[in-house]
């Protein structure tokens, strides 16, 4: 049933038609779209951008008054926990090279640029007692450079680089972070909100909490799954909601912007059409992203019932006097509900899911994985690049988009990340294929009723991929880390993206070529 997607040599249009019948058909009711129609137009007003994050590109980790973040700390550990022993100390040096970055955006013809602000560049002590003017000047320069060329800035307030000072006090597990984070957010609205109309409160609660405080696969590398991940999640959602309310009441009336959260969501599909597997996949979707999305977007708010029930039941069986999931009070449920203008969606992967006896004793107790108790895997048949967990499965993306629309009253969705990792090299045909297929899935979902407002490839250029260092290349532009100028060169996928933006349509037969990149008139 899923195999057709592995036939990557098959002409895409042919495969799409089979899959619409074979894959989409069974799981989500949908019209069969004539995917042979090419090119296919994007709706009027649909926005195209590209994304980065401060720690991954800026470098200048200790320049001009910037203080230490958890990623500075992690990358300077001996021995290094980073795959290639690298760090973001210099990275792409965007702190100095931002004008070249904006030039690349003009070459592509972007409508907006999504980037993040380094908390430690704005507040040297982590707290609001003192503002670092050099840090403010850097972001003012970048914002003004973007606006000069009519590229809308979209700011991620928090993209993982927590001040180390705050980590020393427990980071996201300390409820005081709700005030510390919102002091910081307020200063950003105050400083930049006259020109910035798109605000993302937090990037990827799942990664921050589950990987940072549960599995230890991202900074601060805590392995407290079953406790740390849940406590982090609660504080993070409340911090997000408080920033939303501050913006909504105090800044929106004069600044008139949009504010939302970006949630990373994988798609869990049943391994077979058995009831057990369908239930396992549904539970996995609720644990993976429903845990963060329901309190904000679901009609009655709160965590998904299945998440509350499973964790409470496991906790009781394990002898804990109360659920390890700290629940929300009725006041908090009300405070959180409806606090996002858009559903910011980051999506990378699909997994097949089952739950049978083989799951018993498989995971550490207690833990998130044990609370959920499913086994998931990616089919080895699916196309993969250099990142083992990122495969090309556009049908999973389609199903996820439809599921979000159906679960949350057709909430407007803004895709704030989607991408594919390759090895070095400019001939990134896999990424070209990936973008064509995933944008095709976006068009299919729109055709079937989803309200999707924009798309953001991860990433504008290669960058420091956290614990993977520079071994994973996600960029439309390749960065030469051995050159002092950190030379940026467009890959084939950059030429594809430029063509999509020029025509506001997707032509699956368009084959991009490596030629010289130029800035078109009007950019
Ligand atoms: C606010 O922004 C919306 C678009 O996001 C626009 O239609 C509206 O005219 C703006 N209102 C003011 C008062 O600027
Ligand atoms: C559980 O299901 C998987 C996938 O269908 C299967 O490979 C495995 O043998 C099953 N294990 C048990 C103990 O039933
Ligand atoms: C313009 C600029 O500051 N370039 C710097 C980029 O990074 C290299 C090495 O990391 C420096 O030598 C350059 O001066």
Let me know if residue 517 belongs to a domain: no
Question: What's the CA gap between 5 and 477, in Å, rounded?
Answer: 27
**289 Cβ neighbours under 8 A, 6+ residues apart:** 206, 263, 264, 265, 266
Give the model's pLDDT for residue 495. 98
Q: Residue 518 falls within a domain, yes or no?
A: no
Closest-CA residue to 350 (of 440, 281, 269): 269
User: 33 in a domain, yes or no?
Assistant: yes
- Would you state the pLDDT for residue 16? 37
Nearest ligand to residue 100 Cα: 3
pLDDT at 388: 83
3-state secondary structure of 381: coil
Tokens of 113: 């640029």
Checking if the pLDDT of 442 tops 70, the result is yes
Record the pTM: 0.92
For residue 523, being part of any structural domain is answered with: no
Percent of the chain whose predicted confidence (pLDDT) is above 70: 93
Picking from 412, 427, 401, the residue whose alpha carbon sits closest to that of residue 511 is 427
pLDDT tens for 387-413 read 888 899 999 999 999 999 999 999 999
Residues with CB under 6 A from ligand 2: 271, 354, 356-358
Residue 519 lies in a domain: no
Q: Residue range 490-518: average pLDDT?
A: 97
Residue nearest to atom 1 of ligand 2 (CA): 356
Domain with 370 in it: 6-506
Structure tokens given for 266: 């994988």
CA distance 189 to 246: 9
Specify if 372 maps to a domain. yes
Q: What is the largest CA-CA distance in the chain?
A: 68
Give the tens place of pLDDT for each residue, 236-278: 999 999 999 999 999 999 999 999 999 999 999 999 999 999 9
To 10 degrees, what angle do helices 429-447 and 492-503 make? Answer: 30
pLDDT at 62 over 90: yes
Q: Does 305 score more than 90 pLDDT? A: yes
| Lowest mean per-residue pLDDT among 21-25, 129-133, 314-318 | 21-25
Ligand 3-lining residues (CB < 6 angstroms): 90, 93, 96-97, 484, 486
How far is Cα 97 from Cα 9, in angstroms, rounded to an integer? 39
Tell me the C-alpha distance between 213 and 419, whole Å: 25
Residue 25 has pLDDT above 80, yes or no: no
DSSP strands (E only) in 29-111: 40-41, 47-51
Q: Would you give the DSSP letter of residue 390?
A: -
> Of 107, 204, 269, 437, which is the active-site residue?
204
- Closest residue (by CA) to atom 11 of ligand 2? 358
pLDDT tens-digit readout, 176-201: 999 999 999 999 999 999 999 999 99
Query: From atom 13 of ligand 2, which residue's Cα is the shortest distance away?
Result: 358
In a domain? residue 120: yes
Q: Is 417 a catalytic residue?
A: yes
Cα gap 7→182, rounded to integer Å: 48
Could you count the other beta carbons within 10 Å of the beta carbon of residue 426?
Answer: 14
pLDDT value at 18 more than 60? no
* 499 a catalytic residue: no
11-14 CB contacts, 8 Å cutoff, 24+ apart:
12/433, 12/436, 12/437, 12/440, 12/508, 13/38, 13/508
Provide the angle, in degrees to the nearest 10, between the axes of the packed helices 177-192 and 228-246: 40
Please list, in sequence order, all residues whose beta carbon lies within 8 angstroms of the beta carbon of residue 423, skipping any fewer than 6 positions away. 385, 386, 473
* Ligand 2 centre distance from Cα of residue 359 (Å): 9
Specify if 442 maps to a domain.
yes
Q: At what angle do helices 429-447 and 12-19 cross, to 10 degrees?
A: 40
State the chain's mean pLDDT as an integer: 93
Q: How far apart are CA 195 and CA 192, in angstroms?
A: 6
Pull the structure tokens for residue 83: 């795959």
Rounded Cα distance between 366 and 375, Å, is: 16
Residue 335 has pLDDT above 60, yes or no: yes
Q: Please report the pLDDT score of residue 38 as a whole number.
A: 78
**Could you write out the three-class secondary structure of 394-442?**
HHHHHHHHHHHHHHCCCCCEEEEEECCCECCCCCCHHHHHHHHHHHHHH
Total of domains in the chain: 1
For residue 100, report the distance from its CA to the centre of ligand 3, in Å. Answer: 13
- Average confidence (pLDDT) over 291-298: 98
Residue 387 has a pLDDT of 87
The answer to whether 143 and 99 are in contact (CB under 8 A) is no
What pLDDT sits at residue 407? 98
184 CA from centroid of ligand 3 (Å): 29
What CATH number is attached to the domain comprising 185?
A: 3.20.20.80
């Amino acid at each position: 049933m899923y195999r057709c997607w592995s036939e990557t040599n098959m002409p895409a249009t042919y495969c799409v038609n089979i899959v619409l019948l074979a894959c989409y058909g069974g799981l989500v009711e949908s019209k069969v779209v004539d995917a042979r129609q090419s090119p296919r137009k994007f709706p009027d007003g649909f926005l195209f951008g590209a994304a980065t994050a401060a720690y991954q590109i800026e470098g200048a980790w200790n320049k001009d008054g910037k203080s230490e973040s958890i990623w500075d700390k992690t990358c300077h550990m001996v021995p290094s926990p980073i795959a290639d022993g690298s760090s973001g100390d210099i990275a792409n040096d965007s702190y100095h090279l931002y004008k070249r970055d904006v030039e690349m955006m003009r070459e592509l013809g972007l409508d907006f640029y999504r980037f993040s602000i380094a908390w430690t560049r704005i507040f040297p002590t982590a707290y609001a007692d003192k503002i670092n003017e050099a840090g403010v000047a850097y972001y003012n320069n970048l914002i003004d450079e973007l606006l000069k060329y009519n590229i809308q800035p979209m700011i991620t307030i928090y993209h993982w680089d927590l001040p180390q000072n705050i980590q020393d006090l427990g980071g996201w597990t300390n409820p005081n972070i709700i005030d510390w984070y919102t002091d910081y957010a307020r200063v950003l609205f105050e400083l930049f909100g006259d020109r910035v109309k798109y605000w993302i409160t937090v990037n990827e609660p799942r990664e921050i909490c589950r990987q940072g405080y549960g599995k230890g696969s991202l900074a601060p590398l805590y392995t407290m799954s079953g406790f740390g991940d849940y406590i982090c999640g609660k504080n993070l959602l409340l911090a997000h909601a408080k920033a939303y309310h501050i913006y909504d009441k105090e800044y929106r009336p004069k600044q008139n912007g949009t504010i939302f959260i970006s949630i990373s969501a994988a798609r869990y599909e049943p391994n077979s059409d058995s009831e057990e597997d369908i239930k396992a996949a549904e539970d996995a979707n609720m644990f993976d992203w429903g845990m963060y999305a329901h309190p904000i977007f679901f009609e009655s708010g709160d965590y998904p019932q299945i998440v509350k029930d499973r964790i409470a039941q496991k906790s009781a069986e394990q002898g804990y006097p109360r659920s390890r999931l700290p629940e929300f009070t009725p006041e908090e449920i009300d405070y959180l509900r409806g606090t996002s203008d858009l559903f910011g969606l980051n999506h990378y992967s699909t997994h097949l899911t089952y739950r049978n006896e083989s799951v018993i004793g498989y995971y550490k107790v207690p833990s998130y994985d044990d609370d959920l108790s499913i086994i998931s895997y990616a089919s080895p048949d699916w196309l993969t690049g250099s990142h083992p967990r990122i495969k090309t499965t556009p049908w999973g993306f389609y199903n996820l988009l439809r599921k979000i629309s159906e679960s949350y009253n057709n909430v407007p969705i803004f895709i704030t990340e989607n991408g594919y990792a390759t090895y070095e090299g400019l001939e990134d045909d896999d990424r070209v294929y990936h973008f064509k297929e995933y944008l095709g899935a976006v068009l299919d979902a729109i055709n079937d009723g989803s309200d999707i407002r924009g798309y953001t490839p991860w990433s504008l250029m290669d960058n420091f991929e956290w614990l993977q260092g520079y071994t994973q290349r996600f960029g439309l532009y390749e960065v030469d880390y051995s050159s002092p100028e950190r030379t940026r060169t467009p890959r084939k996928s950059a030429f594809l993206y430029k063509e999509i933006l020029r025509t506001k349509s997707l032509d699956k037969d368009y084959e991009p070529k490596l030629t010289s990149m130029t800035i078109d008139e009007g950019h």
